[in-house]
Amino acid sequence: MGDLSKGLSERAEKVLVDGGNSASRGPRVFKPYPPYIARAEGCRLYDVDGNNYIDWMNAFGALSTGHAHPAVVEAATGAIATGAHYAAAIPEEIEFAELIVNMVPVAEKVRFANSGTEACMAAIRLARGHTGRKKIVKFEGHYHGWADALLLTTNPQPVTTLGHENDPVGIVDSSGIPHGAVEDTIVLPWNNFDALERVFKDRGREIACVATEGVMANIGIIEARPGYLHRMQELCREYDVLFYLDETVTGFRVAPAGCVEMYGLEPDIVTYGKAIGHGFPLAAICARHELMDGLGWGKVMHFGTFNAHRVGVTAGLAGTKLLAADNNAGFTHLHTMGQAAVAGIRDVIAKQNRHNLICQSVGSLFQIYFTDAPEITDFRDYCAHVDSAKFARFANHLRELGVYMSPSNTLHNCSTLGHTSSDVDQTIIAFAEALKIFE
Q: What is the set of active-site residues?
A: 143, 246, 274
47 vs 39: CA distance, rounded Å: 7
